[in-house]
Each structure stands twice: as C-alpha cells, then as structure tokens.
Amino acid sequence: MMQYDAGKQPLSLEEITKRLCDPASYAGVYHRPMHDKPMPSVTALADIMERLRALLFPGYYGNSEITPETMVYHMGAGLDHVARLLAEQITRGHCFSCTITDRESCKDCDKQAEEKTMRFLSALPRIRELLASDAQAAYIGDPAARSPGETIFCYPSLTALTHYRIAHELHHLDVRLIPRIITELAHSKTGIDIHPGAEIGSHFFIDHGTGVVIGETSIIGRNVRLYQGVTLGAKSFPKDDSGTLIKGIARHPIVEDDVIIYAGATILGRVTVGKGAVIGGNVWVTEDVPAGARISQKASD
C-alpha cells in the first residue's frame, strides 16, 4: 500500500508545477487529439439529447406550445440545428481514437460525419415508434402510472430508453465514443446502465431502474419488463494467449419476448431466458431458462 507522506514539507507551487509537467508523470493521462480537433463535449451532447427529445416528443419537451399547424417549422428547424451539432460531435468522437497522422487521409472525416448524421436522423421516426411502445409498456406495467404521458414526462425508464435507442442507432452507424457518452448520461441520471450495443425490442419497461445493467451483447425481445437492480451480465471473460481480454465476443444473455425479471436478479453469460418466463427477485441465473418457467428464490428464515 502506498505510504502516506503527511509528515513531509509541502512543495512549492513551482515545484508541483514542474512535477506535473514531467512527461513521465503525464504520459498515461495526457490526450492530444489528431489535427487539433477538440474533445467531444459532454455538455454539447446533453444539449443535443434535449433537442432530440423535443423532436421525438413534441409538446412534452422543448416548446410546449407546439401545434399541428406549426409543427413543420419546429421539426424542420430543430432537425437542422441538431444535424450541425451532432455532426460536429461525431467528428470529434472519431478524432478521439483516430491514429492516422497523415492529414490528407482524414479529408473525408467531416463528410462521413455528416452522412452518418443524416442516416441517424432518418431513423428518428422509427426510434419514436419504439419509444411510443415503451411509454405504453410503462403505463401498462406500473399500477402507479396514471397515463402514458406521465411516463414520457417523468419516468426514468423512458429517459434511459430514449438515450439507449439513440445511442444504439449511432452504434450501428459505427460512430465512436459518442454512443457511450450518451448512455452514460442516462446512467448517471437514472442509475440504469444499458450498453449501446445491446439489442432491445419494442414495449420495453424498467421499473424504478436503479442498478440495472444490460451488457454489450445482450439481446432482448419484445414486451419485456425489468425491475431495479437486474443484471444481464457476462459470466467469464476469455483471454487471448497474451492474457488480455478478448473484446467483442457474445457473452451476455438472450431474453425472449414477454419475460419479466424482478428486482435484483442476476442473469450471467450467453444463456437464453425463454419466452414468457418470470425470474424472481434476487435470483441468480447462469443457465438457460425454458419458456414459461417461473424461477424464484425461497424466502430466508
């Protein structure tokens, strides 16, 4: 354990500066983007998410006085704004991990980011359709909900899914870093951590949600309901010959349509939870569960 040095004299500001500027000190924690592109901005992405939310749920977010008559203006103007802002962040995300030092080869970066942005925006009607089904599922699944609108406006499930469904689309477009930041924004706000790579069907609902984790290669069907603290995780992490983890292997569960998983349950590995199964609270699952099964923990005594 590193030794605490409270007894020593404090250093001068000049000396601390010198030490922090020693390349040996900053080697592992210093970042210099290619071609002077600044880092992606978390604040800008939060703003973009607000604007997307206003496009997806008109009246609930953004301008609350929007009417069918003026909708075309607000949608068009909103899309135009978001297109510019998002393309900029996509380029930055790409530059973050880019290793091409030859500036000429990077020439198409901006164009590619713009094209990916337009592809993404083209998917908004489909994303909206999915989120409408999620709002319906939340209303049906929570006895405390009084209307689907209430779930759109104040349920963490809808927040997490709006972020996830947007991030997932960007993930498929091979956008770097940005999807992860978008789901982290929702994770921080709701405690629900869904990896952008997961595949999730329509009518999905997570009640309460704090502590839910849905791993990168999870596949979830339609009409599935989860409660707080549910983990869809990996069981083991195969390493290659050099001992480092192999990335990208399918290692998370498949959850089929109409499954319910109660609070605190943990499902690990590439197992399948069959259609309509119900997994009880705090249950630990590492093998396939047949369709229609009901698995539960016995109460302690």
Site for a second copy in 72-111 (CB under 8 A): 72-81, 83-84, 96-97
Least gap, CB of 250 to a second copy (angstroms): 11
Distance of alpha carbon 107 from alpha carbon 268, whole angstroms: 44
Tokens of 16: 């601390």
Spatial separation of the C-alpha atoms in residues 202 and 85, rounded to whole Å: 28
Among residues 89, 157, 223, 231, which is the contact residue for a second copy, using CB under 8 A? 231
Return the residue of 55, 113, 224, 255 that touches a second copy, per CB under 8 A: 55
CB 100 → a second copy: shortest distance, Å?
15
Site for a second copy in 32-51 (CB under 8 A): 32-33, 36, 38-40
Binding-site member from 34, 44, 98, 132 for a second copy (CB under 8 A): 132
Determine which residue in the list 34, 44, 124, 291 makes contact with a second copy, applying CB under 8 A.
124
Output phi, psi for 265, to 5 deg.
Answer: -70, 150
CB of 54 to a second copy, least distance (A): 11
CA distance 290 to 288: 6
Query: Going by C-beta distance under 8 Å and a sequence separation of 6 or more, which residues neighbour residue 35?
Result: 95, 103, 106
CB of 152 to a second copy, least distance (A): 7
Among 44, 270, 280, 291, binds a second copy (CB under 8 A): 280
The single residue among 44, 51, 112, 233 that binds a second copy, judged by CB under 8 A, is 233
Task: State which of residues 49, 86, 181, 273 lies at the interface with a second copy (CB under 8 A).
Answer: 181
Cα–Cα separations (whole angstroms), residue 189 to 158, 198, 215: 12, 19, 18
Residue 70 is a binding residue for a second copy (CB under 8 A): yes
# residues contacting a second copy (CB under 8 A): 152
Find the binder of a second copy among 126, 250, 290, 292 (CB under 8 A). Answer: 126
**Max CA-CA distance within the chain?**
72
35: number of CA atoms within 13 Å, CB side?
A: 19
Q: Does 20 bind a second copy (CB under 8 A)?
A: yes
Using CB under 8 A, pick the residue from 86, 89, 156, 223 that binds a second copy. 156
Instruction: State yes or no: residue 208 binds a second copy (CB under 8 A).
Output: yes
272-273 vs 254-255, strand pairing mode: parallel
129 binds a second copy (CB under 8 A): yes
Residues 246-275 that bind a second copy (CB under 8 A): 246-249, 251, 263-264, 266, 268
Q: Does 288 bind a second copy (CB under 8 A)?
A: no
47, 51, 98, 297: which one contacts a second copy (CB under 8 A)? Answer: 297
